[in-house]
Amino acid sequence: MHADPAGVMTGSHFLDGDHACCEGALAAGARFSSGYPITPSTEVVERFSARVPTVGGTFIQMEDELAASITLQGAVWGGAKAFTVTSGPGFSLMMEHIGLAVMTETPCVFVNVQRGGPSTGLPTLPAQGDMMQVRWGSHGDYEIIALCPNSPQESFDLTIKAFNLSEKYRVPVFVMLDEVVGHMTEKVVIPPADQIEVEPRRYTTIPPGEFLAYQPKDDLVPDMPRTGEGYNVHVTGLTHDERGYPDMTPAQQDKLVKRLVDKIRKNADKIILYEEDQVEGADVVVVSYGITSRVAQRAIDLAREKGVKVGKFRLITAWPFPEKKIAEIASKVKALVVAELNLGQMVREVERAVAGKAVVRFVGHAGGSVHRPEDILQAIMEVAR
């Protein structure tokens, strides 16, 4: 299915990553957003609040992020495609509702324009410090999908992707920008609507009375009922059976939570996206994502000039993590250099996948600025020896 042309600003534009994200949401069909101002993410909803009344939708500024992160879920059950946007402290406040969206299988998108933390930290400066929080921040066992754009163009493209994945798997999907990608301005090409693939909501065709709200299809994802059509749907954050009714037994807990996890794990190969360059035959592979991949590229270029065989591996989905691919790389190279704007988060996943088969060297700091290419270069040169 293709995008509704009303929301698509076809053409070549000069946009920052936050504005490109907003255009991606509109192109994907988002017609509702509930937000709360927080630097450096606010530009996304500022633009949405200006744009959406002209395409038929609603923006509401809520009283806090607790509200913003559940108002959008009400809107989804009301029939809208919806999202919210935040950063550090606001993201922390949203954790409970990420769990609600997982448990109730509410398709929705959260955008986190990452800044330095913990706490108020560095409101106007970049970090990639929420990569584990996005995976594990809400309580209990679950799986989500998180995408990491490294440019305004990708901020547009991956926001559309995020909506599509959220509808397909009925799971909250996260667009993990960082302050630099959010605020950097570059060329963004928005294609015509008929060239933008949009995933429709998986509404059931089974009539009310016969429909079981949480009976999974072959892909482990149940179809959705429409509210206001007599389905008498019951949606609860409690552990529930296929009717949606609470069932507090260990057996049902195991059955439900395993399915919620498996619908992502068993479809991981279809979901995972990455970019690789000259990984084949490399001695060292640099693993990075988001803005750090742009800096890493410079380091890789410098190392290649010095004759080192360096490959590039860029995570586009941080979650699910491409562990099979990393394990495969680890069996062929001397070392992996992992660069990220934190004190060691995704590097733990890399180490887990590498499982001792290659050296893993971490390059990172606590945020506030992007890496210096020389620091990544130095790590490459050291492990290449």
Partner 1 sequence: MTSITPINPVEPFLRTERMPHIWCPGCGIGTSVNSFARALTEANMDLKNVAIVSGIGCTGRVAGYMKLDSFHTTHGRAIPFATGLKLANPKLNVVVYSGDGDLFAIGGNHLIHAARRNVDIKVVCVNNLIYAMTGGQTAPTTPGAVVTSTNPYGTYDPSFNLPYLVEAAGAVYVARWTAFHVRQLARSMQEMFKKKGFSFIEVISPCPTLYQRRNKMGDGLDTMKFYKEVSKIKNGAPTSEVALSKAGEIVVGKFVDREREDYRDLMHDRLTEVLGDQYVEAEACECSI
> What ranges in 287-343 are assigned the alpha helix state H?
291-305, 323-330
Among 139, 187, 217, 234, binds partner 1 (CB under 8 A): 234
Q: Is the CB of residue 18 less than 8 Å from the CB of residue 181?
A: no
Residue 176 is which amino acid? M
Q: From the CB of 101, what's the least distance to partner 1, in Å?
A: 11
Applying CB under 8 A, the span of 232-240, 293-301, 344-352, 373-381 interacting with partner 1 comes to 232-240
Report how far residue 243's alpha carbon sits from residue 264's, in angstroms, rounded to the nearest whole number: 22
Under rule CB under 8 A, residue 1 binds partner 1 = yes
316's tokens: 């586009």
- Residue 2 or 217: the one with the smaller Cβ distance to partner 1 is 2
Residue 110 forms beta bridges with which residues? Answer: 84, 174
> Does 2 engage in binding with partner 1 (CB under 8 A)?
yes
Span interacting with partner 1, options 85-93, 234-242, 275-283, 358-366, rule CB under 8 A? 234-242
Going from the C-alpha of 270 to that of each of 168, 266, 354, the distances in angstroms are 11, 9, 22
3 scored as a contact of partner 1 (CB under 8 A): yes
Judged by CB under 8 A, the residue of 48, 211, 231, 321 near partner 1 is 231
For partner 1, give the closer residue by CB, 206 or 238. 238
Distance (Å, rounded) from C-alpha 327 to C-alpha 276? 14
Letter string b/e over residues 266-299, b meaning 16 or more CB atoms within 10 A of that residue's CB = ebbeebbeeebeebeebbbbbbbbbbbbbbbbeb
- Footprint (CB under 8 A) of partner 1, residues 48-87: 53-58, 60, 62-64, 66-68, 70-82
Cβ 273 to partner 1 shortest distance, Å: 22
For partner 1, the binding residues (CB under 8 A) are 1-4, 6, 29, 31-32, 34, 53-58, 60, 62-64, 66-68, 70-82, 96-97, 100, 198, 200-201, 227-238, 245-246
